[in-house]
Amino acid sequence: MWQMWLCAGLVTFALASCAKSPGDEQRIEITDDREQVEALPPGQLDAMFARAIRDAGLECQWVEHSEQGADVAGRPTWQARCMEGRDFSLVLQKDGIIQVVPPKALPRSTP
């Protein structure tokens, strides 16, 4: 259970580090966790995914590649490949927690 809270805290921390100051001309209005995560630069996104994977008790030194996948049950997903060659799927839950699951654990999306 503490791992879920830690992941939620990391998502919040990662998202807060991307916040723009009120004087920025390119201010972005963010309305939910999904938009905040999707707005992250690739490097920060991969670092957040690597941390979520490690916090789930799995091995991942760093994420070499990630890409957004199809939504599952209305929630955004990403696929990440760690430098060790292991693949993971990550699901952003409604409460902002990133759930890490084996890629084959997610149901196939239907068009």
Residue scoring higher pLDDT (12 or 35): 35
Structure tokens at 61: 């030194």
Sheet with 63-72, strands from edge to edge, namely 63-72, 75-82, 87-92, 98-101
| pLDDT score, position 104 | 73
Alpha-carbon gap, residue 66 to 48, rounded angstroms: 11
| pLDDT score, position 76 | 93
Residues 44-101 pLDDT 10s: 999 999 999 999 999 999 999 999 999 988 999 999 999 999 999 999 998 888 999 8
Give the phi and the psi of residue 83 in degrees, each rounded to 5.
-60, -25
pLDDT band, very low/low/confident/very high, at 33 (cuts 50, 70, 90): confident
Could you tell me whether strands 75-82 and 63-72 are parallel, antiparallel, or unpaired per DSSP bridges? antiparallel
Residue scoring higher pLDDT (63 or 16): 63
